[in-house]
Structure 1
């Protein structure tokens, strides 16, 4: 069905990765390619109201992971050991801020796959960066107060076998002719 079209093939075979090879760091050029995809994702009225924060510093990554786990009420690493976590923020004064940031994350997940990397969308960025401590971090990074968290894109080399897609639901599509 999609094997002949490389774009559709990538879109249909990319999977979320929940185990990363901790012995391999991610090359800067690959991270930049992922960020470029996020920058070029569609935005409402082409406002480009997204910002990206690349977190490679282990202590900050671990702090964000712990914070994220506390919000979910679990004692796990919600970033699954990924060596790179990209925070996606969007300007909440723009009426399409959630959609703009979501499209950016989607494009970044696909770009990571195209670069031979694993990735996973991680939630709870809004809760983290709506908190007083999160707002303080944004202020330290000189990010305007209107920017709110959309999500995190965990990135790294997949550990083990790449997962296969589950069959799609038969009732997902309704044709009205």
Structure 2
């Protein structure tokens, strides 16, 4: 199901509805293999990958993420309709920050390397584009990052010492059609 790279870039969307079908282990390994080809400062490749398929563990991360996000979003509820709606989602019992996706991959970055965040972000983009090329949906769930900043919790999940969570990504087969969101024309500043 390979597509032209430009088509992949322009048609990839965040998926928030997933079928129950599991993503085969070989596919996850393929996505991680694609991630390792991302550029990295000084070729340090500061990443590690925590793969979670256990629904109970994912539910625990989701619940911790919701609790950690509420105080961060609450100040904006009166000025942003999106914040108000997200706050309702966070406070509603049983909502899932992972939208029922069958697998969560947390890209972990070595805390002692200066380009870790950027390097891991590029690895995440490689994974999401590769997933789309294979008919697998993805979404970067940044809302759980405040919970994953708790080093004790992250260590409980199996993260190696000296690593932090950078990119929590979910993967699964999309359920239904994903609407194409509008894209704004970017401001371009030319210096000639």
**Length-normalised TM-score, structure 2:** 0.80
C-alpha offsets along residues 78-130 of structure 1, whole Å, 9 cap, x if unaligned?
11111100011101110001101111111111111011111000114543333
SS at match of 1:172: coil
Match of 2:68 among 67, 71, 76: 71
Match of 1:95 among 111, 114, 126: 114
SS at match of 1:85: strand
**Length-normalised TM-score, structure 1:** 0.86
Mind listing any 5+ residue stretches in structure 1 that lack a counterpart? none
Q: What is the Cα deviation at residue 165 of structure 1? A: 4.2
Mind listing any 5+ residue stretches in structure 2 that lack a counterpart? 71-89
Q: Does 1:143 align with 2:182?
A: no
**Counterpart in the other structure of 1:6:** 4
Structure number with higher helix proportion: 2
Match of 1:34 among 18, 31, 34: 31
Match of 1:15 among 13, 16, 22: 13
Aligned residues, how many?
A: 168
After the TM superposition, list the runs of 4 or more consecutive aligned residues in structure 1 that deviate by more than 6 angstroms.
none
